[in-house]
A and B are shown apart, each in its own frame.
Chain A
Amino acid sequence: MSVTLPESDRRAEDVSPPCQGVVAPILADQSRFKAALGGLTPSTRLEHGDSLLSRLLADQQQLTAVEEFARQHDGGDLPSQSRYYKSLIPASPPGPGQQYAFEVDLDRCSGCKACVTACHSMNGLDQNETWRDVGMLIGGTTELPVLQHVTTACHHCLEPGCMSACPVDAYEKDPITGIVKHLDDQCFGCQYCILACPYEVPKYHSGLGIVRKCDMCSDRLAHGEAPACVQACPHEAIAIRIVNLSQVIEDSEANVFLPGAPDPQITLPTTSYKSSKVFPRNLLPVDFHSVSAQHPHWPLVVMLVLTQFSVGAFLVGLGLERLLSAELVSAIRPLHSLNALVFGLLALGASTLHLGRPQYAWRAVIGLRHSWLSREIVVFGAFAGAAVVYAVGSWFGFESLGLGPLLHEVVAWSVGAFGLLGVFCSVMIYAFTQRAFWSFPLTATRFALTTALLGIAATWVTLLALAVINNGPVTRLLVRRGDLICQALIIVTVTKLGFEALVFRHLLKKQTTPLKRSAVLMTGPLVRWTQARFACGVLGGVLMPAVLRALIGDVSPSAMSMLATSAVLFIACLAGELLERYLFFAAVASPRMPGTIR
């Protein structure tokens, strides 16, 4: 029998160099190969050796499922899947005093997480985007352990934090269904809703520059179809029910929501979690002990610190003016007001960097009635306007603007008032979220001290700059008042650092409270930031002012060493406050629904 070698073997010499060594010896071995085939004749190899490959490669790219198997269907009114979810959605819309709500039967939630993937898929979300989460609670004893998976999405709250917080009214609560819907084209991506929602519901989509969230598949519900998660739960654990608003309020007041979940009285969530089990008292989210640094929001860090810098500079400047002669005031005012203004404008510029769609920044005025972010933006806008007028007046004389001395006073105090009001709005933005680390007293103290500290530091820089220009009276003033300014800076700094360090006392707590989480973060994953923050604070606010005091006390202080010391003072103070504000964001313990092992 004649044996024709497969073409693939005949062409073995042609293979690329790396393989030559292994192929060549084989050619000598063909007789054995033939024998191994047991008389089989690969007869047509020569003809179609290559063509088989190209045929198979071409065939691989042919999609034939449609022609062969396209499925027929009968076009009924409702989708075929409706037979499984009919009983899981209400037959009629909610009446007055009612709304739709998720109901989760915890006894049926087994933790498969099909709801998350179904929501992702049926709503056409982006690759890593999910609107539903499944967490876990554990507790009990070794004899009777308890674990409970918890599926969760938007709770379509009665008082949605996201909606109140939104400065552009990109949220609306449907008056009939109660569904909290996000208007994607209205959103400008400030992400304040993410901070305001206790349940981590709104999710930022960095590619689009907006937030998106669960809308209870309102389009599906409107057509008698169940939301994706309801349709997809293999165990019928999720349903849409009609709830009475009064009942939701009552439940929230009694804190009947879910063990380990954030306090329901903040936003009055409508989801009801039901279970036939009696949960043990030690039932905790599996991620209860895990701490992870939060998003630092750098543009907000810069914006907050610099607005407070600017406001502080104006206020300290105004205060200083009370102590000085008219001559000195007119010498200091132009430069100082410019100094404050420049940082103020920088701050406002930085704030737009935080927006996903800064071109719509103007929309921020829309939410003035309810959003602290709107208010902050508007008030700081007024502050900037007044500050510009004040600075221009300071440089060119208020008379040039057609303003008399009284009006000058009015502008001056308006700048101060708008500034303080702006800082207050900033405080409220964070206090509104009801996070312990951002509580009103803590945040107000923090922001006020920053305002004072940077205001003093900024004033010092102005004075020094003037001294460098070698203004006679100012130099004399420096000698007289410099010591006072340095003392003030040291006192404010020590107070502020002490105040910030107070959080560490929570490390001694046995319970993992939100403030303990912040302290753990600051001494654990964020310890380098914490060290840098305190080092900068001490350097800029204590050591350098002390050096300056010594220099001022000298008979003839060297201008160079004064200058260098002041530069270090200023940079260290500013850096210290930026680091402090970084920690303000990164070390906050955000409330969240029970999570997963992480």
Chain B
Amino acid sequence: MTESSLLRKFDGPLTRDLLLSPGGFGLGHVPAKLQPTAVTTSVCGYCSTGCSLTVHLKDGEAVSLSPNTEYPVNLGMACPKGWEALTVLDAPDRATTPLLRDASGKLKPVDWDTALKTFVARMQGIQSRHGDDSIAFISTGQMATEEMALLGALAKFGMGMKHGDGNTRQCMATAVVAYKQSFGFDAPPYTYADFEESDTIVLVGSNLCLAHPIMWERVMRNKHKPEIIVIDPRRTETAMAATLHLPLAPKSDMDLFYGIARILIERGWINREFINAHTNGFDSFAEFVLPFTLDRVVAATGLSAESIERFATLIHEGKRVSFWWTMGVNQSYQGVRTAQALINLALMTGHIGKPGTGANSITGQCNAMGSRLFSNTTGLLAGHEFANADHRAKVAGILGIDEARIPREASWAYHEILEGVLKGKIRGLWIICTNPAHSWINQRLCHDILDRVEFLVVQDMYHTTETAQRAHLILPAAGWGEKDGTFINSERRFGVFKKVRRAPGQALSDFSIFRLIADAWGCGKMFDRWDSPQSAFQILKKLSAGQPCDITGIEDYRMIEESGGIQWPLASGARSGASGEQERRLFVDGRFYHPDGRAKFLFEAPRPMPEPTSAKYPFVLLTGRGSASQWHTQTRTSKSEVLRKLYPQRLYVEINPNDARSLGISPNERVSVESQRGRVTAQAFLTPSVPVGQVFVPMHESNANQLTDAVFDPYSKQPNYKSCAVRVTRIGA
């Protein structure tokens, strides 16, 4: 370094503030002021990609982090949310003590003892007056598997609740039902290596670039120069990178896929051998798709005949074709059948169970899969059925509880619980780690419902969420980074996350809160064995025995850690991830989970959009993720100043310049977007990437769901977020 002189300072305190020094631990240079004394790894707590982060520790506490180079999921990369995962823990609006609404309607700090007593007294009071099933819970895809399981077991077996559901209803329910019906178990068959091994990648309703940047990383690492077919009404970042983009009319996916199936059958581009050996129902499916002629599909989708035929040809020519879908499919009034239309394409071409293939649902939240398997809501713990007496007996035996305490039927779905409030059947509601007042469809109605709840408890990291602000009691929760547990990612991989920060004030891990509530409720003994997330994991292992999601072969957290995560199934005696492959896929032997080992072709006639456009509301409203820096309702991501810089600060609406011109809307003008349910003000963003007649609004601003229409898939009960009718007008016009 050049020497400093009186006139020129090359060194000094300001220079040293940004000094880099070798970090050790294989990290390369790190800021000297954040030099770690140890490192550990932790799986990220935002989305379902399940990246591993190397946490830099100083005296045991996290000071920084970087993506884990060795992990098979993210290969040394992370998206902005992961990079900023620690920052959001320091927000000033963290809930640090329980808050109870006093007589004047203000939320006032109380001690845990008071909070627990109030919780028990109010909830038991409601039960005594209205029956055990008059209280319910709404949980999340963002907590540890162990926490979800403890909550589900506590609420249903300990507290006598009948109804509980998770926010996974908003993201994954459709995939769950589609898989269950088609394969016999909720089993996404793929591993991320399939992104790299495909030669034909079909992405449906999935803006991977923004929603799952690290999965897009895997696509970009594909060495086979893959054809990338993106099916999305909008020309998204992902569509831009596609070799074929099919901007179909909203909700015409089923017509398209049935039409493609018809072409494949007609031209003999199907795998008869696979169909005969491993599936049921193909013949009636073939008959069903006959009316989906090219003309009909062209009319329904608005696509050109050439592009549709090109799509079919690419599927035919591909040696390793994989079909991937995300919320464009799941969040639909006919999502299950749409997902199955894709599953059918994979089945009829035999593109499943082999590298680079599959009908693959990309999950949303970090532990959506944990919720699907272990939340004890729609399904009994570990993929069992409430209605199945053998399953109940097995679970009761393993948990050491009276079998009679296990309900004989599944819970109501999310919207049925909310309707239950309207009908006076649900009086007490416990919302954990989710923010329905922001995220639920048809927001005004949702607010009305939440305000009718006699006793609303919200358990969250922050006391400022739209939902927490409506609560009677707020329980302060520790967040990701302040507790231990496992998440299961999109490709069925268990990953461990760790306590690397001290929770603020009196905040406790959700696991501890559940234990305290069990104790206060009077059923603590029932959960004596659940004394730590690790012990809970051992219980979950036992519950999984003999199930498709058998994890009895996983010893403990350390084994997960050392193996680079472990995908289910790993039955006892099977080769572990450490000694076996890190990337495993299902159905390699063509055996599915239905009793006869065969997959089913399932199909149904497409239905028109529930709220078609009209003269008064001439635009179709699409909603979705706005940027890679935002997570859902922004409870966490809005707490990082850096993330806040990376996304627009106001609600905006994407509108085609042609539509804008005919409405007299100029760029950046504040406009009104109005549906039958609500009206919001947004900044007009003129872009040809959204087709004429459609507008797009990102879901992250708190008022976006004032517009959406509460319609649900009849099978999955998942809300239809992505199509309703709106009008756009100049303000003051």
Contact = CB atoms under 8 A, between A and B. Distances in A.
A182 to B, nearest CB: 10
A113 interface: yes
Interface of A: 5-6, 8-9, 11-12, 15-16, 18-19, 22-23, 25-26, 29, 32-33, 36-45, 49-50, 52-53, 56-57, 59-66, 68-71, 73-76, 78-84, 107-108, 110-114, 116-118, 120-125, 127-128, 130, 134, 138-142, 145-149, 169, 183-187, 208, 210, 212, 217, 219-220, 223, 225, 231-236, 286, 288-290, 363, 366, 596-598
Given A36-B132, A110-B241, A598-B648, A52 B30 contact: no
A60 B28 CA distance: 32
Contact of B522 (A25, A40, A123): A40
A110 B121 contact: no
B733 interface: no
B223 interface: no
A234 B214 contact: yes
B689 interface: yes
Contacts of B70: 80
B268 interface: no
B524 A169 contact: no
Contacts of A149: 237
Contacts of B687: 138, 145, 147, 286
B216 A366 contact: no
Contacts of B648: 596-598
A45 B209 contact: no
B89 interface: no
Given A11-B117, A19-B117, A65-B55, A123 B668 contact: no
B422 interface: no
Contacts of A128: 641-642, 645
Interface stretch (B12-20, B347-355, B717-725): B12-20
B643 interface: yes
12 contacts: A26-B122, A32-B128, A42-B525, A49-B519, A70-B39, A80-B69, A83-B69, A114-B83, A118-B78, A184-B14, A184-B18, A185-B4
6 A-B pairs with least C-beta separation = A124-B31, A185-B12, A79-B28, A234-B217, A117-B83, A289-B667
Contact of B41 (A62, A69, A81, A139): A69
Interface in B637-689: 641-643, 645-649, 652, 656-658, 666-668, 683, 685, 687-689
Size class of the contact patch on chain B: 35 or more
A18 B103 contact: yes
A186 B9 contact: yes
B7 A366 contact: yes
A531 B526 CA distance: 75
B293 interface: no
Contacts of A289: 666-668
Contact of A38 (B64, B402, B502, B503): B402
Given A32-B128, A65-B57, A223-B29, A185 B14 contact: yes
A63 B502 contact: yes
B237 A110 contact: yes
Contact of B15 (A66, A134, A184, A223): A184
A81 B160 contact: no
Contacts of A169: 7-8
A6 B668 contact: no
A75 B108 contact: no
A114 B213 contact: yes
A121 B80 CA distance: 10
A259 to B, nearest CB: 15
Contacts of A82: 28
B120 interface: yes
Given A49-B519, A52-B516, A60-B509, A117 B80 contact: yes
Contacts of A117: 80, 83-84, 629, 642-643, 646
Contacts of B181: none
B41 A71 contact: yes
Interface in B380-430: 402, 404-405
Contacts of B658: 142
A71 B54 contact: yes
